[in-house]
Amino acid sequence: MLSSAAASVFAILAAAQDFTNIKVERIAAGLHYAEGPAWSPDGFLTFSDTVTNKLHKFIPGKGEAEPADVPGGPSGNAYDSQGRLYTCEIRERRITRTSKNGKVEVIAARFEGKRFNAPNDLVIRRDGHVYFTDPAFGNQQDAREMDYYGIFHITPKGEIELVAKWKTRPNGIALSPNGRILYVGDSDARVIRAFDLDRGGAASNERVVIEKIAGVPGGLRTDEKGNLWIAAKMVGVYSPQGQLINQFELSETPSNLAFGDADLETLFITARTTVYRVRIGVKGSSQNSSTQN
């Protein structure tokens, strides 16, 4: 499915760093709904095609490998420090973990006896704490057992805790570089909310940090300076204080994003039918991107 690299140039709102005339490469095309980009510590990108139940792998310098089947409907993905892949399965309504030898474990499927709505995205702190969002979109609403949309925490011991109950739908999720702030996108209110995290992973002090986002905020990531990169109508870059720094538009609406390559200075963007690679010159936070360091 890999197409030849197609370079284009876009103009970005000027800010502290000049991002004008950055080359965009198309590394995958012809997808049905691309989501969940995650950079592996073994040096490749994983991303989902949710509609076709496929997990894809892009290897720099080699291209795209044969996709794997995930019948549960893969959406968000993340790697832990051991190189294990965590995947949100929206149709099976669960979180799975795949070891490097291919063994698949279900690590979260129910909370207080009820099945999750449709786990969407997740992030893993360096010490092993996992956080994920559980909204429901479209016909996912019909099978709900919970009367709220949740944000959940899986401890390193495997215990599942509720971070927050929302009436609106949480979507993308990310951590600050020090792992002490959890950011969550609110698809309906079109804001980014934040929680403080303690050393034990417990969340407190929920608040709004970014308002009036153009479009539905999907994927979130932070860079090493704590700026937030948000996939919405455009890709927006915001300071930790919530001020818009940069924004740029693609030919398709972005769904999610991830920093990658060995130096974490490349931005991979899923955008409906396409996956793009942009050498951005900004280093991503290692809290949201696994590396071999």
Q: What's the pLDDT tens digit per position in 130-189?
A: 999 999 998 888 889 999 999 999 999 999 999 999 999 999 999 999 999 999 999 999
* Rounded distance between C-alpha atoms, residue 57 and residue 170, angstroms: 26
Q: Which domain holds residue 170?
A: 8-279
Does 229 fall in a domain? Answer: yes
Residues 6+ apart with CB under 8 A from 60: 43, 44, 45, 261
Does 285 fall in a domain? Answer: no
pLDDT (0 to 100) of residue 241 = 93
Task: Please check whether residue 135 is in contact with residue 171, taking contact to mean a CB–CB distance below 8 angstroms.
Answer: yes
pLDDT (0 to 100) of residue 158 = 97
Residue 66: count of CB within 10 angstroms of its CB = 8
- Judged against a pLDDT cut of 70, whether residue 263 lies above it is answered with yes
pLDDT in tens, 78-129: 999 999 999 999 999 999 999 999 999 999 999 999 999 999 999 999 999 9
Give me the chain's average pLDDT, please.
91
Sign of CA dihedral 110, 150, 53, 102: negative
- Give the count of domains, the chain: 1
Does 286 fall in a domain? Answer: no
Q: Domain holding 185: CATH number?
A: 2.120.10.30
- Judged against a pLDDT cut of 60, whether residue 15 lies above it is answered with no
| pTM of the full structure | 0.92
Task: Please check whether residue 270 is in contact with residue 24, taking contact to mean a CB–CB distance below 8 angstroms.
Answer: no
Does 292 fall in a domain? Answer: no
* Rounded distance between C-alpha atoms, residue 215 and residue 87, angstroms: 25
Burial per residue of 93-115, b for 16 or more beta-carbon CB atoms within 10 angstroms, e otherwise: bbbbbbeeeeeeeeebeebeeee
Does 291 fall in a domain? Answer: no
pLDDT in tens, 243-258: 999 999 999 999 999 9
The structure tokens listed for 219 are 């994927």
The structure tokens listed for 159 are 């215990």
pLDDT (0 to 100) of residue 4 = 36
pLDDT in tens, 34-78: 999 999 999 999 999 999 999 999 999 898 888 999 999 999 999
Does 216 fall in a domain? Answer: yes
